[in-house]
Amino acid sequence: MPSWKIATVQMDCKLKDRAANLEAIRKHLHEAAAKGAQLAVFPECAVAGYCYESKAEAMPFAETLPGPTTEALSIDCRQLGIWAVVGLLERDGDDLFNSCVLVGPDGFKASYRKTHLPCLGVDRFTTPGTRPFAVQDLGGLRIGMNICYDGSFPETARIFTLLGADLVVLPTNWPEGSISTITCLMPARALENHIFYAACNRVGEEKGFRFLGRSRIFNVNGELLAASEDDRATIVYADIDPAKARDKKVVRVPKVFELHRTNDRRPELYGPLTATERD
């Protein structure tokens, strides 16, 4: 099974300027493709910006799906033979969603709506996603899409794993105060599921928030493959082998020290995880 070169595009975004952001995204997509990337991941809300003060303020910068962003990216992805995951704001009737789209050589393939919403930025006014988690097959690489705070909930990555994902991608807007999330949670998601994990954060400042960058890509052992260690605009690349994610059996010493991250589960004991009662 061939490896895939993936890229996380750590970029700044301009609040309320979809045209400028989309132009920058397309430029970076061409740059990533020129370096051999087959999949490029962009930050959360990369098209519209994040720090809105109300739903009414954000709604004019949301779009239906498919829409103008997916139409423009379809042209580039077809020309370049690349896949792209891009964060944006989605409008569906009166609902506003923090979403990301998956676009490839054949056009718009799928979208994901952020499921877990923090009290931060536009997420204070968006509707939580309710669609079942789904894995998308890019033709040799199977991915699951989460957004930012979703990565703090291990259930999401585990579901993607059980659905056959090789890689989970996480467009994010990590601001100051998120260092522990960056350094601890993402490698744990990769290790506990024996999958690759790619988190793409933005940089720059918006409405008093400074975003930390530090995008990173982890292998199936939770080890760092590639990373940015600062808040400057850059593109982080790594080669990943889907076959390694699909072989869940870890053999340290045959018949003496062996692990299987999915077969060793005890789901009959996990009932409290699905309890809906809250304090």
234-240/4-10 β-pairing: antiparallel
Residue 279's pLDDT is: 58
Residues 6+ apart with CB under 8 A from 272: none
Nearest to 149 by CA among 179, 181, 124: 181
Query: What are the tokens at 55?
Result: 């739903």
Q: How far lies 147's CA from each of 25, 32, 100, 170, 278, in Å?
A: 18, 21, 8, 5, 23
Tens of pLDDT along 90-136?
Answer: 999 999 999 999 999 999 999 999 999 999 999 999 999 999 999 99
Mean pLDDT of the chain: 97
**Strand, helix or coil at 55?**
helix
Q: Against a cut of 0.75, is the pTM above it?
A: yes
C-alpha triplet 80, 82, 84: angle, nearest 5°: 125
Residues in the chain: 279
- Which residues are bridge partners to 108 per DSSP? 103
Residue 133's pLDDT is: 98
- Which residues are bridge partners to 250 per DSSP? 259
279, HSE (Cβ side, Cα atoms, 13 Å): 0
> Which of the residues 51, 77, 148, 200 is marked catalytic?
148
> Residue 1 pLDDT more than 80?
no
196-201/167-172 β-pairing: parallel
C-alpha triplet 168, 173, 174: angle, nearest 5°: 95
In terms of Cβ atoms closer than 10 Å to its own Cβ (0-12, 13-18, 19+), residue 273 is exposed
> Which of the residues 13, 44, 63, 206 is marked catalytic?
44
E strand intervals along the chain: 4-10, 39-41, 83-92, 95-104, 107-113, 135-137, 142-145, 167-172, 196-201, 203-206, 209-212, 216-218, 224-227, 234-240, 249-253, 257-260
Using an 8 Å Cβ cutoff, are 238 and 217 in contact? Answer: yes
Is 90 part of the annotated catalytic residue set? no
Cα dihedral sign, 80-85-86-89: positive
Using an 8 Å Cβ cutoff, are 81 and 33 in contact? Answer: yes
Q: How far apart are the first and last CA of the chain?
A: 47
DSSP state of 190: H
Residue 275's pLDDT is: 84
Is 114 part of the annotated catalytic residue set? yes
Tens of pLDDT along 177-213?
Answer: 999 999 999 999 999 999 999 999 999 999 999 999 9
Q: Where are the domains of the chain?
A: 4-250
- Which residues are bridge partners to 237 per DSSP? 7
| Amino acid letter, 59 | M
Using an 8 Å Cβ cutoff, are 110 and 133 in contact? Answer: no
CATH number of 4-250: 3.60.110.10
Residue 274's pLDDT is: 86
> Which of the residues 51, 114, 200, 206 is marked catalytic?
114
